[in-house]
Structure 1
Amino acid sequence: MYKDTAKWLLTFTPIAAIVTLALTLAPRVGAIAATGFTHWVVANPIATAAVALTLFAAAIIVVLCSHVLLAKPRPWTELRADDEWCSKAFSDDAVGVPLFGSSTSYEKIEVAALQNDATAAEQTALAATSRRMLELSEAQNAEARFKRFIWGYGICMVIIVAGMCIATAGVPLAPDAVTKPTKVSILLPPDGESRFTEETQCATVTGTTAIAVRGLWDRPVLRLFGPGCTQAEWTPTAEILIAPK
């Protein structure tokens, strides 16, 4: 029961979280590729942290669930040496029904089997009871792990829901990416001419030819051609408008 429940939770929760994040980020893939992953992360630290926390919480759920699914019974020699556990297994969990009502009766037949004095029916009941004892031990271990899992699951679910909400609201709707070199106009603020010439070494903005080569259209990366212009790529500041010609 515990393994089946953990498996059901594993099937739906992490997969749903990852699919939701994929649908959230899919429209921004072009923008991320155009600006570069590192630059996009630096520009959107809160959304990036939300995505990372969501994925981390989903991974924790997978690990905790796997811990439940991998639960095994205690070693047989350890179980047989635990008199208190054996007594409860027969009295409370009825592992020996219908032939063995207590651990004492089971031990008597076990000794008889070792001495080849047990009947075929007793040997069959002995094997079935031993199997049920191992199954009980496995179920108890799975239950103990499931209790830890459910606490971790609840905490991780809070993180996942919060992370997806922040990521959905925080990831900006990105402008179109520059997909091919495009000639553009540079529109400067009233006091922007001197700053432009200082940053680019161009003589004047009117005598400069600007080509958008990559990035996003809100702040594309430009190559400038004109008297004195730097050969390096240049990215305008936010107050400078760039318009395709």
Structure 2
Amino acid sequence: MTGEHSSKQYDTDLESIRSKVLLMGGLVESQFRDAMVAFRTGNVEMAFAVVKGDDSVNKLEVQLDDTCSHLIVRRQPTANDLRTVMATVKVITDLERIGDEATKIARTTASMQERGAMIINHYETVRVIANSAADMLHDSLDAFARLDSKQALRLIAQDEVIDHEFRSIMRSLITFMMEDPRTISSALDTLWVAKAIERIGDHAKNIAEYVIYIVEGKDIRHSDYASTADLDE
């Protein structure tokens, strides 16, 4: 009975952690969304609110890391249970970094407004990649919540689409700068925003990879697993 009670308590503790991770995920989704609204509208107050909100995300990261460490010490999980905890810690790290990227976008927005750097249509340049990354982040959190490895696998393949969009943006902005040197400052700022969005896609892909690790026990980082796996299995 002691072992059964311990197992149930472990499951309860782990579910509590998962709920807080999803809360953190909701916060970084809001950060990213608000950062892009600020970038589109030039709303400096909203941009600064995104920057300030990063403190909450950072505090959650510290709290969750500490909770996971204590869970390992108290429950001494093995095999699948330990794998789940370790992967969850990595998800927490990626979520914190997504918050950092959203903060970069917000800071860039404030800087552009202060300098009046509005020569090119900066938001339209990144609109498609921003929508793609937002969808990918949302779906990766959904896959984590439901431990859906098939959905996670589909998301990994989507990251290449975001990478392709970023390369297209980079070529376009280089053309702007070559044709009109007055656009150099704002084009570089927009490229900085596009890179932050591309990195958010990378972190969302990482979360999807950790879902597969939890469910299937396969570490597919730095591999071509997504291109060779059969999604219809």
Q: Is TM-score (shorter-chain normalized) higher than 0.5?
A: no
TM-score (norm 2): 0.29
Structure having the larger proportion of residues in helix: 2
* Larger Cα-atom Rg: 1
TM-score (norm 1): 0.28
Structure having the larger proportion of residues in strand: 1
